[in-house]
Amino acid sequence: MLSGVLYTDAGQFDDLVGRVKVRARWPDGRRPHGVLVFIAGRIEDDVIVAISGTRLMVEGPIAVFGPGMGRVRTGPFVVAVLVASPDGRAPLAPLRSYAHPCWSVTDMLPVDSSNERRSLDILVRFRDWMGTQGYSVEITKPLHDRSRYFLGGEEPDQVVKPDFEGKVFAPDGGFARSLVVETLGFRHAAYRAKKQRLKEILTRKPGRYLEHLAHDGIDPAEGDRRFRKDLLTFGTGVIDMASRKQVPSAAPAIVPLPPAPLPAPPRGPRFAPAPPGPAVLPAPAEVPQTLFGTPVPRPVAASAEPVAAARRQPEPTRKLRWLAHRVLTVLRGKR
């Protein structure tokens, strides 16, 4: 069982290697053991060279992730060394080790190859540029299977582990868009077929899929230029989409109300002549009126009642006409 994990940077590595030789014992007589974690610059056969220049010889095998070229492998690597006693009572010694490529000598973020290290460099510069625009970008290197997210359990035997995932957040902190990046480090048929299958899976979820061509058949500078251009197009699209959402819609035009109709003229004498002109003036068309941005139809028409009333002669009331009729009937009867 592990008794602890020892982590150090370049300045403390030399001192920590000396501490590995400690002769402490557990109460039952067994010697403690632990894991020494540090960043190495290169690996030479069974020797790990730290970035400080200190050389650590490992008694057992050194497993290095990824394909290696020759007897010397250049890093940087994040290295984990098992420090223990070979038989439980002998002095502690580095027994075996595992080395994984990392992003830089100051950052232990694991990558799969030097090509992915270039992809991450470009992604970090893209993150910094988006920061000048008020956006924040979260970059993730998946270390475990992501098939449950992309496939939802449809193909349990399919392993899905994209090279990089990213999320873009707007200035107000809200999620804007996501992206997935694949680094194409080889060009042979089997590798490209595997990457094409992975592309079909990664495009099932919303987000932008980008490829960084970094294989031997293309100029590295040209592959980096294409990747930077694709990232710039993606970021510009996110910013433009957000700006279009923030533009307010144009306010509807407000149609002024026509002036109110004039008051009706006073009634003239009983036998006053009617003024010339048509009997009834035409009513104007309906004019739309806006109330707090909502069109409200309101018929506006000048009333013709005052004009018609001015032309009509005043009529006697019904009672007066009845009395006049009775008087005339009585006079005719007396004749």
- pLDDT, tens digit, for every residue of 293-332? 555 455 444 444 454 455 555 555 677 777 777 777 777 7
**Does residue 253 surpass a pLDDT of 90?**
no
- How many other C-beta atoms lie within 10 A of the C-beta of residue 8? 18
In the prediction, which pLDDT does 26 show?
A: 46
Residue 126 phi, psi (nearest 5):
-65, -40
In angstroms, the CA 194 to CA 266 distance is 96
**Does residue 142 surpass a pLDDT of 60?**
yes
**Does residue 17 surpass a pLDDT of 50?**
no
Element (H, E) at 101: strand 93-104
Is residue 36 within 8 Å of residue 6, measured between CB atoms? Answer: yes
In angstroms, the CA 85 to CA 203 distance is 50
Instruction: Identify the three-state secondary structure at position 104.
Output: strand
Token output for 257: 């109300």
Residue 231 phi, psi (nearest 5):
-65, -40
- Report the range of poorest mean pLDDT among 93-102, 124-133, 166-175: 93-102
Token output for 243: 């700006």
Task: Quickly state the pLDDT bin for 23 (edges 50, 70, 90).
Answer: very low
Task: Quickly state the pLDDT bin for 10 (edges 50, 70, 90).
Answer: very low
Token output for 123: 């992604």
| pLDDT tens figures, 185-216 | 888 889 889 999 999 999 999 999 999 998 87
In the prediction, which pLDDT does 238 show?
A: 93
Task: Quickly state the pLDDT bin for 255 (edges 50, 70, 90).
Answer: low
In the prediction, which pLDDT does 222 show?
A: 92
pTM over 0.95: no
